Amino acid sequence: MPSNAPLGQKAPMHHALFFHGETLHLRPSGALYWPARRTLAVSDLHLGKSERIARKGGTLLPPYETQATLEKLDRDLEVTGADTVICLGDSFDDLAAAEGIAESARLWLIRLIAGKDWTWITGNHDPGPIDIGGNHRAELSLPPFTFRHIAEPGEKAEISGHYHPKARLSGQSRPCFLADASRLILPAFGVYTGGLRAHDPALTTLMAKDALAILTGHKSLVIPMPH
């Protein structure tokens, strides 16, 4: 498909979604950027997942997921220049993981938060306040949108996370955004998170039949949401 970028300028890697009168950039990383409000939204970082699994006697994972996720977040903040950040819940794998985060990661987060309007939305994994900085809310209204962790049926102009949606293209499963006329669901931003297939009934009953899946990866790709 021909590019609309000016000659000599690379086409944007993100997908521009016109949603309730606003243009949102769905980035290949899984982050959402709202240029008009200089706002970056990410969901389900699950920082400290490897530590939580080891603490509970599960399979050991390489202990690098927090660093890799923070590197992604740091890169998106630098590229977009966002000065408002919304973390849509399950930012930490549990509250003990938030309290036990490595000092280097804690200092990294403090540096990222400094000078920004930063909001932690309550998730089901991290249901209480986090002593790292920023604001804490059950949900956040920035008209025309409502940001929350879990989508609520019947809501309009809603942006949420929680489900970690994934879809397959050419035999490869990739995290994806799901979008219809009413809501937008973000993929998990954390690097060691699992995912729920987009055609799972939990998602197909929530999303409209004409919903789109915007796949993350090297470049955002748009396909009809699998049903």
**pLDDT tens-digit profile of 198-226?**
999 999 999 999 999 999 998 889 999 99
The rounded distance, in Å, linking the Cα atoms of 120 and 43 is 10
pLDDT in tens, 146-178: 999 999 999 999 999 999 999 998 888 999 999
Residues 60-82: what's their mean pLDDT?
Answer: 86
Burial class (CB in 10 A: 0-12, 13-18, 19+), 37: middle
Which helix or strand (DSSP H or E) is residue 137 part of? strand 135-137
pTM, full prediction: 0.88
The rounded distance, in Å, linking the Cα atoms of 105 and 125 is 19
- pLDDT interval class at 21 (50, 70, 90): very high
Burial class (CB in 10 A: 0-12, 13-18, 19+), 91: buried
Contact 11, 220 (CB under 8 A): no
pLDDT in tens, 117-143: 999 999 886 656 677 889 999 999 999
The answer, yes or no, to whether residue 1 has pLDDT greater than 50, is no
Q: What is the pLDDT of residue 170?
A: 84
Domains in the chain (CATH in brackets) are 15-224 (3.60.21)
* C-alpha torsion angle, residues 173, 175, 180, 184 (rounded to 10): 170
Contact 198, 213 (CB under 8 A): yes
